[in-house]
Structure 1
Amino acid sequence: MSVLTEEQIERFFNILNESSEIIQKAKDQSYLDSLIETLDAVQDGDGRHLGLTASDAQRVTNIYAKFNRDDYDAETLRKSIQMAILKAIRLDKIQANYQITPDTIANVIGYIVAGIFNDKKQISLLDPAMGTGNLLTAIYNQLDRSLGVKPTVSGIENDDAMFELAASSFEIQHIHAELFHEDAIQNVLAPVVDAVISDLPIGYYPIDANAKGFNTHSETGHSYVHHLLIEYSMNHVKKGGFGFFLVPSQLFQTEEAKQLLKWMQGRIYLQGLLNLPGELFENKAAQKAILILQNTGEKAKQSNPVMLGEFPSFKDQTAFKKFLTEIDDWQQRDLL
């Protein structure tokens, strides 16, 4: 990353941060809520509608005057917003489902997606659990840079605050997106796409009645939300299309996995399961992997072999690049 880009990231972060701190103090509210208001107001360049005193409204308006959208590319803006959200998570002690997918992981997923779709002039993407939209916008920007393709994107998010952050992030980056403020498990009528990309929430889905229409629902008690979302996602992928999911490394080693595997038979090809480096996680139980699924139909076929393995440390650039080359070879030789 160039020094200029780092300076721009810091510059826009400072604009977001200074405004959010003023609003937070004036309204005695969370940093997160203040950031949401800032992201909305900075685009208008006007703080008068924020419900502040005339003095504070003028202060934030003066801060917004430092922001000229034309000075920034989308990726710089995304990184600045990411920094501000990370500060909100830290300051407000926000629960785990707000955690942002690290850029190192987003970049790897984007690399795999770019390799599979490298001959496409257009790609449509969906994230059924988009959170703040960071993963979806990171991959959008990566595909724009690496393939010269501006994907058509859609996202679903049930949480109010995360949805508002995502909507503002897309808008400020000038990324047109179809966003749904809904619970995907209630079978949102989202578009059918070339690929689903998602860092799936992990755990039990609380509303059993909503899960009953899914083949992956549990026969007793609550169902795993990540199983339900995988099924939902692949139902919204075209024939021969792909799903790229961040999942627990132990996904297929639980008792509940039997129902997931049963649903996949005859419908879905398991094309890859790539464990992320163990050093990124607190313990083995928390380790995650990139799951690559493909719908049957069109020219899709079961890859032989399935791509299984574990990424070397991201710090070992030689080994890391060698592993990426192995993925490239597998895509060309066994998958596509």
Structure 2
Amino acid sequence: MSITKLENTFSLFDTTANIMQEELQCTYLEALAETAENLFHGNVLQEELSEVTKRRLEKEYNKLNINALQKEEIRKGFQLAILKGMKEGVQANHQMTPDAIAMFMGYLVGKFTSHLPQISLLDPAIGTGNLLTAVMNHQGNKKQEAFGVEVDDLLVKLAYNNANLQEQSISLFNQDGLSNLFVEPVDVVVSDLPVGYYPDDQNAENFKLRAAEGHSYAHYLFIEQGLRYTKPGGYLFFLMPNFMFEEEEAKIVNEFIKEDAYIQGLLQLPLSMFQHKNYAKSILVLQKKGIGVQSPKEALLVNLPSFSNLQAMEKIMGQINKWFEK
């Protein structure tokens, strides 16, 4: 993707969001959701805007034909605008999966499901939809049905506009991702695990991985929730913090996973991607047990090099491809 095209796409979102933010006296992210809605519908929907502002917006919208852009071009431009908005007033739960990781997870999903003609996907903590749409964009012409759950109203709105502009069909649910979901079990669960304590102790009682006392860890509960909504033989791809297997309760999580699933892979991301080694993450790949599902002879254990080191990445990709051939 050319830099200028990305700049132009970002500029379209950014300029129009700024115009709208000024007049509507809202946050940048709220204005971004509004402008994305306009782009999708092809006109200015906000009746409270002045005629002058409406004309200014239309002039900007006419500078770039959004329908002529590729899905990934739209996703990346929108993602940059969201990142800008998050820097302004970020809440702890408003974090976005880095692009290289989202695309790599898309590659892994493609590899593990290459035998399936079509797949259903679920992200129980979809956020802005960046991870799920990146994964979907990397599945070629495979038929897909997708579901996303998010408790935060604004993030759901951004995910909804994100999916619409990329013409990706995703059923979105604005609810707690750990409550009862109106979703049939899927072939693939992908999630950038929300890390920290889960505040709803009453709902946590429904989970085996709840804490014996006090608040439970959300990242544990989301693993259990993911397995509940995966078909037998289906795959789960979790972006998880490295410290997760060092916590005191890690043994219980390991035992729980072993009961229900096989660990297919653990791919440690390069430390250079994270501000501090305490924030470092890995991709955990699980396969839910089922009839005819066997444990892999050996799991795919990889320490990934920096994504910008092309030679090292090529070598690792060669090793990963060999593992799949086996």
Please, what TM-score do these two structures have when normalized by structure 1? 0.92
Alignment partner, residue 85 of structure 1: 82
Alignment partner, residue 108 of structure 1: 104
Alignment partner, residue 8 of structure 2: 11
Separation of aligned partners in 1, 2:123 and 2:195: 15
Are 1:28 and 2:25 matched, yes or no?
yes
Alignment partner, residue 121 of structure 2: 125
How big is each residue's C-alpha offset from its partner over 1:14-57, in whole Å with a ceiling of 9 and x where there is no partner? Answer: 22111111111112221111111111122233325241122112
Helix, strand or coil at the partner of 2:147: strand
Could you tell which deviates more after superposition, 278-287 or 263-272? 263-272
Alignment partner, residue 170 of structure 1: 163
| CA displacement at 1:201 relative to structure 2 | 0.9
Separation of aligned partners in 2, 1:251 and 1:171: 35
Helix, strand or coil at the partner of 1:239: strand
Alignment partner, residue 184 of structure 1: 177
Question: For the aligned residues, what is the CA RMSD?
Answer: 1.6
Tell me which stretches of 4 or more aligned residues in structure 1 moved more than 6 Å. Answer: none
Separation of aligned partners in 2, 1:70 and 1:45: 10
How big is each residue's C-alpha offset from its partner over 1:121-177, in whole Å with a ceiling of 9 and x where there is no partner? Answer: 111111000100001111111112xxx214211111111111000001111111111
**1:10–1:80 Cα contact (<8 Å) kept:** yes
- Of the three residues 46, 50, 54, the one matched with 1:53 is 50
Separation of aligned partners in 1, 2:42 and 2:233: 45
Alignment partner, residue 303 of structure 1: 296
Helix, strand or coil at the partner of 2:172: strand
- Of the three residues 225, 232, 242, the one matched with 1:249 is 242
**2:39–2:66 Cα contact (<8 Å) kept:** no
Alignment partner, residue 262 of structure 1: 255
Which amino acid in the other structure matches residue 236 of structure 1?
Y
Separation of aligned partners in 2, 1:34 and 1:24: 5
Helix, strand or coil at the partner of 2:46: helix
| CA displacement at 1:11 relative to structure 2 | 2.2
Separation of aligned partners in 1, 2:33 and 2:282: 31
Alignment partner, residue 230 of structure 1: 223
Alignment partner, residue 95 of structure 1: 91
**Unaligned residue ranges in structure 1 (runs of 5+):** none
Which amino acid in the other structure matches residue 265 of structure 2?
G
**1:109–1:244 Cα contact (<8 Å) kept:** yes
**1:140–1:150 Cα contact (<8 Å) kept:** no
Which amino acid in the other structure matches residue 209 of structure 1?
Q
Please, what TM-score do these two structures have when normalized by structure 2? 0.95
**1:125–1:151 Cα contact (<8 Å) kept:** yes
Could you tell which deviates more after superposition, 263-272 or 179-188? 263-272
Which amino acid in the other structure matches residue 293 of structure 1?
L
| CA displacement at 1:67 relative to structure 2 | 4.2
How big is each residue's C-alpha offset from its partner over 1:261-290, in whole Å with a ceiling of 9 and x where there is no partner? Answer: 232232111222111001111222111000
Separation of aligned partners in 2, 1:79 and 1:315: 18
- Of the three residues 115, 136, 149, the one matched with 1:140 is 136
Alignment partner, residue 41 of structure 1: 38
Alignment partner, residue 76 of structure 1: 73
**Unaligned residue ranges in structure 2 (runs of 5+):** none
Separation of aligned partners in 1, 2:236 and 2:43: 41
**1:45–1:65 Cα contact (<8 Å) kept:** no
Same amino acid, percent of matched pairs? 38
Separation of aligned partners in 1, 2:97 and 2:144: 20
Separation of aligned partners in 2, 1:262 and 1:318: 38
Separation of aligned partners in 2, 1:259 and 1:241: 22
Helix, strand or coil at the partner of 2:291: coil
